[in-house]
Amino acid sequence: MTSFLEQLGAKVVDRWLAGLLLPGLLWLCCVAVAAQLGWEHAVDPRAAQPLLRRLAGERSGAQALLLVAGALGGSAAAGLAATGLATVLRRAWTLPGGAVPAKWLRQWRRRRWEAADRLVTQQRNGILDAAEAGAEDGAVTVAPQYGEALARRDLIGLEPAERPTWIGDRWLATGMRIHRAYGLDLTVVWPRLWALAPDALRNDIAVAQLAYQEASITVSWAAFYGAVGLFWGPALIIAAGLAVTGTLQARDATGNLCELVESTCDLYGRSLAEQLRIDCPERMTPEAGKRINEHLRRKDLPPG
pLDDT in tens, 120-140: 888 777 777 666 666 444 444
| Cβ–Cβ < 8 Å for 128, 142 | no
Same domain, 291 and 171: yes
Range of the domain at 142: 95-164
Provide the pLDDT confidence category of residue 5 given band limits of 50, 70 and 90. Answer: very low
What's the confidence (pLDDT) of residue 9? 46
Same domain, 213 and 264: yes
Residue 129: inside a domain? yes
What's the confidence (pLDDT) of residue 22? 86
Once rounded to an integer, what is the mean pLDDT over residues 191-196? 92
Same domain, 295 and 244: yes
Q: Is 278 exposed, middle or buried (0-12, 13-18, 19+ CB in 10 A)?
A: middle
Same domain, 139 and 262: no
What's the confidence (pLDDT) of residue 51? 59
Cα(202)–Cα(46) distance, integer angstroms = 53
| Secondary structure (3-state) at 186 | helix
Once rounded to an integer, what is the mean pLDDT over residues 94-99? 83
In the listed set 103, 129, 164, which residue is the last one of a domain according to the structure?
A: 164
| Cβ–Cβ < 8 Å for 121, 149 | no
Q: What is the number of structural domains in the chain?
A: 2
Same domain, 187 and 227: yes
DSSP for residue 292: H
What's the confidence (pLDDT) of residue 136? 43
Phi-psi region of 277 (alpha: psi -120 to 50; beta: other; left: phi over 0): left
Once rounded to an integer, what is the mean pLDDT over residues 32-56? 67
Same domain, 198 and 257: yes
Provide the pLDDT confidence category of residue 281 given band limits of 50, 70 and 90. Answer: confident
Once rounded to an integer, what is the mean pLDDT over residues 171-199? 92
Cα(251)–Cα(145) distance, integer angstroms = 25
Residue 245: inside a domain? yes
- Say which range, 125-139, 144-158, 175-189, 247-261, has the weakest mean pLDDT: 125-139
Same domain, 292 and 175: yes
Q: Which residues contact 113 (CB under 8 A, 6 or more apart)?
A: 153, 156, 157, 160, 161
Same domain, 129 and 234: no
CB atoms near residue 239 (< 10 Å):
21
Task: Label residues 197-210 b or e (16+ Cβ within 10 Å = b).
Answer: beeebeebbeebee
Same domain, 173 and 238: yes
Once rounded to an integer, what is the mean pLDDT over residues 15-36? 79
Same domain, 304 and 268: yes
Same domain, 138 and 206: no
Same domain, 169 and 159: no
What's the confidence (pLDDT) of residue 8? 41
Residue 214: inside a domain? yes
Q: Given a cut of 90, is residue 24 above it in pLDDT?
A: no
In the listed set 137, 164, 191, which residue is the last one of a domain according to the structure?
A: 164
